[in-house]
Amino acid sequence: MHSCVSTLPTGRWICSGTIVVDDRGYFDFGLLATRIEDENYFVTRMKSNTVYESIGECDLPEEEDQHILKDERIYLTGTAAIEAGIDQILLRRVAIYKADENKIIVVITNNKQWSAATIGDLYKRRWQIEIFFKLIKQNLQIKTFLGTSENACKSQIYVAMIVYLLLELIRRSISKVYHCFGHFVTLIRVCLTQYNRLEYITSEIQITVQKAKKKHKPPPDTTQQSLALG
């Protein structure tokens, strides 16, 4: 697995108390040490070759949350963990069964209070966040930044997020016809230069097109029927 740690900015750039959810590419002992030092909670996918010592398991739910396979308290005992100074920090290792892919995902966290199901749900929602930003990049044209300063980049992202949320609100609350988000954005973009009501753009235009298709539907081909009768 390729490490993505080198792509992160240096220094303290996340406020204390933040919940950080990372993929396996960001599993790094130095980074975990930084999260702990900055008083942040992390939920990170654990690499399979990580050396650790289990000191006890927590009780698992009997009926609900059956996708939680194991919830244990651990210490990281490998050389890299010792060098990072986190070998004496009590951590939590949670094994989660992912039914749609038929595989087990193991995550590590420094939070002792959350339920194992909450930890699993946090990691699951990491993917939803990735999809969210992918939609913004694909549909709202943030392929390059107009400025190079931190404030300029943040402003452009914030504007794109506001646009996304407004369009999603319109799509869900006004549209009477189902549109995927990408198609909906295209529809809005095409109609920007015209004076039309939102209801027409989101719902009536597609209904009109469907009626037009039915109206101009070609007559059935009777050639084969005539040949069969003959």
Q: How far apart are CA 43 and CA 35, in angstroms?
A: 10
DSSP, res 216: T
Domain ranges of the chain: 5-126, 140-215
Give the Cα-Cα-Cα angle 127, 159, 16 (nearest 5 degrees): 60
DSSP, res 49: T
From residue 198, how far is each of 167, 180, 181, 182, 191 by CA, in Å?
11, 17, 15, 17, 10
107-154 residue pLDDT tens: 999 999 999 989 989 988 888 878 877 777 776 667 777 777 878 888
pLDDT confidence tier of residue 29, bands split at 50, 70 and 90: very high
* Mean per-residue pLDDT, 210-214: 54
Strands (E), the chain: 19-22, 41-45, 52-57, 68-76, 91-98, 103-109
> What local confidence, expressed as pLDDT, does residue 190 receive?
73
Q: How far apart are CA 112 and CA 72, in angstroms?
A: 10
- Name 22's bridge partners: 44
> What local confidence, expressed as pLDDT, does residue 24 receive?
85
Length of the chain: 230
The predicted model scores a pTM of 0.61
> What local confidence, expressed as pLDDT, does residue 76 receive?
96
* Mean per-residue pLDDT, 19-38: 90
Which amino acid is located at 3 in the chain?
S
Q: 80: closest CA among 3, 150, 182?
A: 3
Query: For the chain, first and last CA: distance in Å?
Result: 70
